[in-house]
Structure 1
Amino acid sequence: MITLKRLGTAVAMTALLATGALAEGLYAPNLAYRTGPFAATGIPLMNGQKDYMELLNARDGGIGGILIDFDECETGYSTEKGVECYEKTKGQAIVTQPWSTGITLQVLPKTNVDQIPILAPGYGFSPMADGKVFQWAFNIPLSYWDGASILLKYLEEQGDLSGKKIAFLHLDHPFGKEPLPFMEQEAEKKGFELLPIPVGLKEMQNQSAQWLQIRRERPDYVIMWGWGAMNAGAITEAVKTKFPMENMLGVWWAGHDADLKLVGEDGRGYKSVSWSFPNPDAPIMADLKTHVVDPGKTQSDAEEMSGVFYSRGLVISMILGEGIRVAQEHAGTPEITPADLRWGLENLDITEARLEELGMTGMVPPFKTSCANHTGHSGGWILEWDGAKFVKATNLIMPDAEAIAPLEAQAAKDYAEANAPWPANDACQM
């Protein structure tokens, strides 16, 4: 809430909104991908994100008395189009949401010059966690190295990994390669054999060569770092080749209900790490029905809204919304700048109590950010497909910070040196 000291500003802004003088509101564009080879997974995420902002605008009059202009610029998941969207939107935007590791890597140096925050929840370049080096980039609430760590910790709970063979089936794209430095480090440390198996963009729906290799190599586990059509292709191939589904695990982008519904009961036992989970009984879902669904403001439907990815879209926009709210309180005005939002994203404290206030209990783990910690490292759950839906198979598992932090620091240092002169936040102490 805006404090009493700042209430006058909020009231004044609300009055201006009533006259239409600020009809655009705060511009928070989303570099969406509702088309292209990844559309099936992009659409529920974009719908969840947009519906959350529609809810805030309809129910609350926006955030702090100012509407949120949640425009979309379609990229089709193309890095080239994504950079074009960034250039098109950055002038008035308080944030950029690239929605691709490839796009994120391209715009990362630009944001130092443009001084606009990158918000890349659960994706992007893992060393962005180091806020001292990457002062304008945020991959809240988990990095890909966090996710890989959680998956390995879960597998270690099933038995010693020494001498085991883990196939790493990944999209041959910056996103798919992102976990490799951490996985290679851990393979050497823990004594397991890592078998990287890339899947090209043109091979996503026909992975016969990759699964022939998996049959030949007979790995103990397959970890899938896939996206879009790759996931459905891999899951159907796994079923066809009778790979034990309980030994196949995926990143959070490989935990899409629709992909598993293609195989139904045959997919039972497949697992995915996740930092979000749908809660149909959460108060926010009732509010969405009243303020967004019933008035016809959504592009979603009941089946999609019950799924993991729609729920994750809600969580992602909640993170942005909370960043805006915190920034407004600090700046003393609802009409914040990109620099204000950066401060807000660096000072998030999403506690269980705050999640209850937001009507989102159980939908994301608690996390906290700082000027040095731009990820939050929230921890994640292992979700398991029960033949019809994903269920939580574990309590919250935290990533191995001791294993990740030195790798983050070294990779951030290497990046800064390779892109010198690279401005750092030397004033940040925590």
Structure 2
Amino acid sequence: MKTLSRLGLLSAAVAMGALAGLPALAEDSVNVTNLSYRTGPFAATGTPVMNGQRDYMLMLNERDGGVNGVKIVYDECETGYNTEKGAECYEKTKGSSIVTQPWSTGITLQVLPKSNVDKIPILAPGYGFSPMAEGKTFTWAFNPPTTYWDGASMILQNIADGNLDSLKGKKIVLLHLDAPFGKEPIPLMQAYAEKHGFTLLPIPVGLKEMQNQSAQWLQIRRERPDFVVMWGWGAMNAGALTEAAKTKFPMDKFVGIWWSGSDADLKTVGDAGKGYRSISWSFPVSDSKVMQDIKTHVIDKGKSLSAPGEFDYVFYQRGVVISMFAVEAIKAAQAHFDTKVVTPEQLRWGFENLKLDDAYLAEIGFTGMVPPFSTSCANHAGHSGGWMLQWDGAKFVKSSDLLKADEAMIEPLAIAEAKKYAEANAPWPTNEECKM
């Protein structure tokens, strides 16, 4: 098995090789940098996503020569999921990359005010600060295809079988990482609890407790909740699943957000994890055209950093989908501005004008891998919806039709929180020209 240090060396070597092979003229390439985390306590879940992101970009360079004749320079700046290092990586790369991908919610919150000044779009697919979807306030931030609050809404709808009033009198534990990411769903879930009469009990898991959650699960046994919703990442997920299996907590009452649905984590418990569910805005389709092209042009040529079996994983293929978002924004900007090499400002327009319907997703080889959605100047997420995936003992399978969040519940809270953020960080520029 490749060590993390080996992965880092390989990544650097491949990046330098790609740079060396580019044409001499700078205008023939665009730089897309990822603030990655292949080291640290979140590496096990972060690495497959990074590998998928990287392999899609490499495939386009190998198969098509890039995007409309422009090579993609995919680069990484290692953060270890550390907010301070993430801020350093942002400063180091903002002059070269046309987009920043901060990854952790903590790093996203750090770079969010800077993006207005530096005029660099933030791409935070399915993570970050949920009100960033309000494009009139957060002009430079994008969190397609759906937000954490959307995820919380879909989870509650699913466990309530579509009738949230049926949760009245029930108790739901929110087992969450004690970090900005883990606290993200609390305001919305509290609003749902007040409206529908259930009890929400947040139970935090500290960074030093991720692999030993005996205290948290002792509390869960005492509380006897009707459901446990997990907002976990990295080593926390495997730790929670192991404790749930050990204490024989009913797995069909245990549901996670999309970052708590990693194949590698579930393989640690195998059959004991049967019934566990995770909401997801992506789904692995290994025989899709895009995945087969990645296999042909990257995997089979020995150019991937992915581990054996990772190709079929939810997280690896989610990384492919994420890079597709960036590429489609580049394409949209190229067409609109009639240019080959887009600027960060032009790319921002591209992110505001993503139109990924079923027909177009089929055209680019992504059928079934992500729900259709579109963005606008006011809607920076798209609110695509997602599927509930369930572990069958060996892999994740779909256990629901496409679910959609209750935007009538979410939007007023998102607008209020966006306004509160802007007022707390005044003077805060907003897009007054946006009417949609």
**TM-score above 0.5:** yes
Alignment-derived partner of residue 92 in structure 1: 96
> Aligned partners of 2:26, 2:138: CA distance in 1, in Å?
32
Alignment-derived partner of residue 365 in structure 1: 371
User: Which of 158, 161, 164 is residue 157 of structure 1 equivalent to?
Assistant: 161
Which stretch has the larger CA shift, 365-374 or 157-166? 157-166
Q: Which amino acid aligns with 2:102?
A: P
Q: Deviations over 1:178-218 (max 9, x none)?
A: 01000000000011000000000000000000000000000
Q: Which amino acid aligns with 2:411?
A: A
Change beyond 3 A, Cα 1:267–1:111 = same
1:77 aligns with 2:81: yes
Q: Which amino acid aligns with 1:60?
A: D
Alignment-derived partner of residue 435 in structure 2: 429
Alignment-derived partner of residue 51 in structure 2: 47
Q: Which amino acid aligns with 2:42?
A: F
CA contact (8 A) 1:24 1:69 kept: no
> Aligned partners of 2:87, 2:307: CA distance in 1, in Å?
31
User: Which of 184, 194, 203 is residue 188 of structure 1 equivalent to?
Assistant: 194
CA contact (8 A) 2:61 2:71 kept: yes
Alignment-derived partner of residue 70 in structure 2: 66
> Aligned partners of 1:237, 1:27: CA distance in 2, in Å?
43
1:113: how far off? 0.2
> Aligned partners of 2:27, 2:344: CA distance in 1, in Å?
19
CA contact (8 A) 1:166 1:222 kept: yes
Change beyond 3 A, Cα 1:371–1:116 = same
> Aligned partners of 1:141, 1:66: CA distance in 2, in Å?
25
Q: Deviations over 1:325-369 (max 9, x none)?
A: 001101100111101000000000101111111111000000000
DSSP-derived class of the 1:243 partner: coil
* Mapping 1:13-412, distance limit 5 Å: 19-22=23-26, 25-157=29-161, 160-412=166-418
1:20: how far off? 2.7
Q: How many residues align?
A: 414
1:93: how far off? 1.5
Q: Deviations over 1:219-277 (max 9, x none)?
A: 00000000000000000000001100000000000000011111111100000000001
Change beyond 3 A, Cα 1:24–1:75 = farther
DSSP-derived class of the 2:174 partner: strand
Q: Deviations over 1:288-319 (max 9, x none)?
A: 12111122211114410101000100000000
Q: Which amino acid aligns with 1:110?
A: K
> Aligned partners of 2:196, 2:414: CA distance in 1, in Å?
19
Q: Which amino acid aligns with 1:357?
A: E
CA contact (8 A) 2:27 2:341 kept: no
Change beyond 3 A, Cα 1:302–1:351 = farther
> Aligned partners of 1:243, 1:301: CA distance in 2, in Å?
31
> Aligned partners of 1:141, 1:344: CA distance in 2, in Å?
14
Q: Which amino acid aligns with 2:364?
A: L
> Aligned partners of 1:23, 1:35: CA distance in 2, in Å?
33
Change beyond 3 A, Cα 1:162–1:289 = same
Change beyond 3 A, Cα 1:247–1:284 = same
DSSP-derived class of the 2:126 partner: coil
Which stretch has the larger CA shift, 155-164 or 238-247? 155-164
> Aligned partners of 2:167, 2:340: CA distance in 1, in Å?
52
Which stretch has the larger CA shift, 21-30 or 102-111? 21-30
Q: Which amino acid aligns with 2:425?
A: N
1:21: how far off? 2.0
1:19: how far off? 4.8
DSSP-derived class of the 2:160 partner: helix
> Aligned partners of 1:358, 1:424: CA distance in 2, in Å?
34
> Aligned partners of 1:22, 1:107: CA distance in 2, in Å?
27
Q: Which amino acid aligns with 1:310?
A: Y
Change beyond 3 A, Cα 1:19–1:246 = closer
Alignment-derived partner of residue 10 in structure 2: none
TM-score (ref. length: structure 2): 0.94
> Aligned partners of 2:47, 2:307: CA distance in 1, in Å?
12
CA contact (8 A) 2:109 2:129 kept: yes
Change beyond 3 A, Cα 1:417–1:111 = same
Q: Which amino acid aligns with 1:82?
A: G
> Aligned partners of 2:46, 2:95: CA distance in 1, in Å?
25
1:22: how far off? 3.0
> Aligned partners of 1:75, 1:23: CA distance in 2, in Å?
28
DSSP-derived class of the 2:34 partner: coil
Q: Which amino acid aligns with 2:244?
A: A
1:24: how far off? 7.2
CA contact (8 A) 1:23 1:67 kept: no
Q: Which amino acid aligns with 1:34?
A: R
- Structure 2, unaligned runs of 5 or more: 1-20
Q: Which amino acid aligns with 2:412?
A: P
Cα RMSD, aligned residues only: 1.1
- Structure 1, unaligned runs of 5 or more: 1-16
1:59: how far off? 0.6
